Amino acid sequence: MVPHTFGAHLNFNTHLHILISTLGLYKTGSTLVPNVWFPRDAVVKKWLHTLLDYLKMALEASQLSSELSRPELLKLLHDRDHWWSARVDYYKFKNTFLRYIARYLRRPPLVEYRLLHNGGRESVFDQ
């Protein structure tokens, strides 16, 4: 996974690049399964619900803070359920994939001029 907080025009655009191999193993663990196919809608739906469940659990455990009240934050998480977007791409050639991901790995996940304070476990940045 490669996190980013900006888009191509250095605008604020928080997003993740999540990479999954299409080469897998059978349950026995001894035979390779080539060309595993991920149905886009099912993957996106599962990822989204897992992420939202995680954020709700973090809120319950008081590990998620916000200027919003707890009910407002829960409503925000629930209402945003429909606007998250995802793109699933398949790369036929290893070199094409490596060039794609190298663009993101060599960039910092945050436009550096937006970083206001880095205190170890917590960073503050301007949107």
Q: What is the pLDDT of residue 94?
A: 82
Together in a domain, 31 and 61 = no
Q: What is the pLDDT of residue 113?
A: 67
Range of the domain at 68: 39-87
Q: What is the pLDDT of residue 21?
A: 77
Together in a domain, 83 and 51 = yes
Per the structure, the count of domains in the chain is: 2
Together in a domain, 49 and 75 = yes
Together in a domain, 59 and 94 = no
- For the chain, state the CA radius of gyration: 18
Give the predicted TM-score (pTM) of the model.
0.57
pLDDT in tens, the chain (127 residues): 777 777 777 677 777 777 777 888 888 888 898 888 878 888 888 888 888 888 889 888 988 878 888 888 888 877 765 666 777 777 878 888 888 888 777 776 666 666 676 676 666 666 6
Q: What is the pLDDT of residue 115?
A: 67
Together in a domain, 45 and 81 = yes
